[in-house]
Amino acid sequence: MSLKHALLGLIDLEPGSGYDLTQRIRNSIGFFWPSTHQQIYKALHELLHEGCLDVEEEPQQHRPDRRIYSMTQHGREELQRWLDKPSPPTKIRDAFLIRVFCAHLWDEAHLVERLNDEQQRHQHVWEVYQRLAGRMDQWPESRRKRYRFARHTLQLGIYIEEAWQRWCRELQELYADK
């Protein structure tokens, strides 16, 4: 299960609680491996059971105690083994493209409108990525170095969003002035 190894990778960079990891995933690995807190808590329990992680309870008042996870030697070995395996091909799942596929059932004005919405959505995601990247680029050297691969994956996200926007714009032009 890739989510487990994603968690090992994150914890290897910096230990944290399920809550912490949920936030961190949302701003990094979540872009190319979407996951909810429910999955994450479950995966953490399993990793703990398998001896890949250690926990330390941090007592809190008025709310559940934080359970801080950190790597074990076994976890590090497991991650290493996984890293050397080949990756299955990327998967995209996009219902909007199914709709475009059926766009002969729309009139062209409606198509252009939907393409415009879609383009704005991708522009928004692009802006989120850019902001995040900009902030990361201002981190102090040591942190920037530690997270440089996270930064690289973000760059791919930026390129992909640009591809989407280009496509939306070109199609809009094609159907707008007809």
Partner DNA sequence: CTTGGCATGTAAACTGTTACATGATTCT
Partner DNA sequence: AGAATCATGTAACAGTTTACATGCCAAG
The listed partner (its own copies, DNA, none) that binds 128, CB under 5 to 8 Å by sort, is none
Place of tokens 């159907």: 175
Check binding of 1 to DNA (CB under 7 A): yes
Check binding of 54 to DNA (CB under 7 A): no
The contacts of residue 44 (CB under 8 Å, 6+ apart) are 7, 18, 21, 53, 69
Contacting residues toward its own copies, per CB under 8 A:
2, 5-6, 8-9, 12-13, 28-29, 31-34, 79-80, 83, 87-106, 121, 125, 146, 149-150, 152-153, 155-156, 159-160, 162-164, 166-167, 170-171
The contacts of residue 84 (CB under 8 Å, 6+ apart) are none
The listed partner (its own copies, DNA, none) that binds 139, CB under 5 to 8 Å by sort, is none
8 Å CB contact between 175 and 112 = yes
Between CA 50 and CA 29 the distance in angstroms is 22
The rounded Cα 122 to chain-centroid distance in angstroms is 15
- The residues that touch DNA, with contacts defined as CB under 7 A, are 1-3, 17-20, 22-23, 34-39, 41-42, 44-45, 60, 62-67, 91, 93
